[in-house]
Chain A
Amino acid sequence: MSFLNHYIYYIGAFGLIFIGLYIVLVKHNLIKVIIGLSIMETGVNLFLISIGYIKGGTAPIFSTPEIEAARMVDPVPQALVLTAIVIGVAVLALALSLAIRLYQHYGTLNLRKIKEQRW
């Protein structure tokens, strides 16, 4: 049980990463692949956040004077996640616009059937 207590967030984060990666590797539908990429991003973000966590910690904001600094969680991973989320949104938006165009050209989103460019 203590194992779960110690690593539950890591397990969750990497569970999401592997689910996403598996979808990207195995599925043929572009929309599903994009969803997979998005799940993977979420897992990475969760992992980043859990690295900075401290047991029983609070948010690193000095809103009232009595908050003690020693209990604050690490602010850096939160800043990094903010950046990572925005980058993820950017990639997602671009991927969706490409999917729209791809569908207009080929009439399908199945990546197995779209093989004009090859070795």
Chain B
Amino acid sequence: MVNPVLLIAVPLGLAFAIPLFGFISQKLEKYIPPVAMLFNLIVSLSLIPKVLEQPIVVSIGGFPPPFCINLVAGPVGVLFSAIIALVGFLVSIYALDYIKEGATEKYHMLYLLLLTGATGVVLTGDIFNLFVFFEILCISSYALVAYLGNRAGIESAVKYLIQGAIGSSLVLIGVALLYGLFGTLNMADIARNIDSVSPISVFVPLVLLITGLGIEGAIFPLNAWLPDAHSSAPSSISAILSGIAIEVGIYAVARVIFTVFGASSIFLFLVLLGLLTLLVGEMSAFSQKNIKRLLAYSSIGQIGLIVFALGIATSYGVVGGLFQIISHSLSKALLFLAVGYMIYRTGSMDISTLDGMGKRMPFTSLAFTIGAFSLVGLPPFVGFPSKFLIVRAALAKEEVLFTVLIALVLLGTVIEGAYFFRVIQTLYFKGKRVSPNKREEAPIAALIPIGILMILIIVIGVYPRLVTDILNSAASELLNRIGYIKGVLG
């Protein structure tokens, strides 16, 4: 059996070794992140059949839990680490050609460490360790947002850092209160004892943890940093922040609510919060003229949908939420990667300058169209089955409230469709001044990941059965706290 700790140790070791490879040859550095992520992808995929039977719990240092830190590679963890490795691998190939300026060696190190932090967050079974890996994820993303060193990048990074630092302090207070109450940091051990103290005293750490982790997860009203940070980072980093970082934030919130606290009383609050996030995000996206800000606000909308689905907290709802995470990771990564070279060619982020791109960059425009259709939820793309599951989950509740709410969600989807169609219209049907033989397609290193993402979006959209097994068992891991506690502590 492959030990899941390798998913963290190997990329971490390779990230430390990048300067050493740099002493041999400067050209070698940029090939390290793809190699590390390919390794992670293979290991994650090979772990899936095993974790479907039962979660793999490994302790670090060789002491029994809760006396040491342990990793829990259950279906949820392995599903997330596979998504992280997949998107990370594809974006790192894109970056081979895209990142040419600045301190490229530092870019590749920070990039790999960001993904390692994300993998650590989804695999760890210890609440303080989760905080540490969360900080790795956050601090490397602050630095990467500022990577271009221009006015917008620095300003956004400062805002992101201030809000993120407040969030991490709140998380740390929450962790400290939990340690004071229960004398342990192991999530399963805390979950086992959570009912032994009065609900009011565990409510405060719960709120602190949700607030602190929710800042990275961009839940409304904690998302003021997101549009700035996602739009002023380099496009490859925007793809990672939108496709991975906020999903990991949502994972952490979900893990805390579902597994550690088992707080079923706040599920309805979560549903409403998700809906609010969705509507705010989609409406702000509608009025944007800057293409990257539009995509960033659309990410907020999608996060709202995911939170809405998780808050339904039935098996259908959680499956739908996790499916939506897959769909959003793939589609939003594709959109940012496609937009990256369009902006590079036109030199502006204004939507109106993208006219005629359908002729200038046909493949990239097609990729943008597929990503947008998938996010809106059109068949046969991956967004369709995920949105369908969420609608079905809400209707299966058979309550008037949920029927009204899902109608509002669909209204959000309509707004989403409207602004994406406006962009697509600009790409294909405006701008006659470009002659059709003037092609400026993106380089091959960018087209390969874009192509693979397109194929994946269509294949999973047509055969959703490819992922239903892992999604079903992941949903039951989140909903079945007792099983998780037994799996870790025996």
Contacts and interface: CB of A to CB of B under 8 A. Distances in A.
A contacting B, Cβ–Cβ less than 8 Å = yes
Interface of A: 17, 20-21, 24, 30, 33, 37, 40-41, 44, 47-48, 51, 76-77, 80, 83-84, 87, 90-91, 94-95, 98-99, 101-102, 105-106, 111, 114, 116-117, 119
Interface string B227-257: 1100110000000000000000000000000
B460 interface: no
Contacts of B143: 94
Given A17-B173, A44-B172, 5 more contacts: A17-B169, A51-B176, A106-B151, A117-B231, A117-B232
A24 B132 CA distance: 23
Contacts of A17: 169, 173
B161 A98 contact: yes
Nearest to A10: B180
B135 A87 contact: yes
Contact of B157 (A20, A51, A91, A98): A98
Contact of B154 (A51, A77, A102): A102
Contact of A99 (B139, B149, B158, B159): B158
Nearest to B159: A117
A17, A37, A106: residue with the most chain B Cβ atoms closer than 10 Å: A37
Contact of B132 (A51, A83, A105, A119): A83
A90 B143 CA distance: 11
Interface of B: 128, 132, 135, 139, 142-143, 146, 149-152, 154-159, 161-162, 165-166, 168-169, 172-173, 175-176, 179-180, 185, 227-228, 231-232, 284
A3 to B, nearest CB: 18
B321 to A, nearest CB: 27
B401 to A, nearest CB: 30
A94 B142 contact: yes
B139 A94 contact: yes
9 contacts: A44-B172, A76-B179, A90-B135, A91-B161, A95-B162, A105-B151, A106-B151, A106-B155, A117-B159
A117 B160 CA distance: 12
Contacts of B146: 98, 101
A33 B162 contact: yes
Contacts of B175: 80
B139 A90 contact: yes
B139 A117 contact: no
A117 B157 contact: no
Contacts of A24: 162, 166
User: 6 closest A-B pairs (Cβ-Cβ)?
Assistant: A117-B228, A51-B180, A105-B151, A101-B154, A48-B176, A37-B165
B128 A117 contact: no
A117 B161 contact: no
Contact of B169 (A40, A105, A114): A40
A32 B63 CA distance: 44
B362 to A, nearest CB: 32
B132 A77 contact: no
B176 A47 contact: yes
A114 B169 CA distance: 25
A51 B180 CA distance: 6
Given A99-B158, A117-B152, A47 B173 contact: yes
B139 A91 contact: yes
B132 A87 contact: yes
A101 B151 CA distance: 9
Given A37-B166, A94-B161, A98-B161, A77 B179 contact: yes
A54 B11 CA distance: 41
B158 A98 contact: yes
B151 A80 contact: no
A95 B165 contact: yes
B101 to A, nearest CB: 16
Contacts of B142: 94, 98
A80 B150 CA distance: 36
A91 B156 contact: no
B132, B172, B179: residue with the most chain A Cβ atoms closer than 10 Å: B172
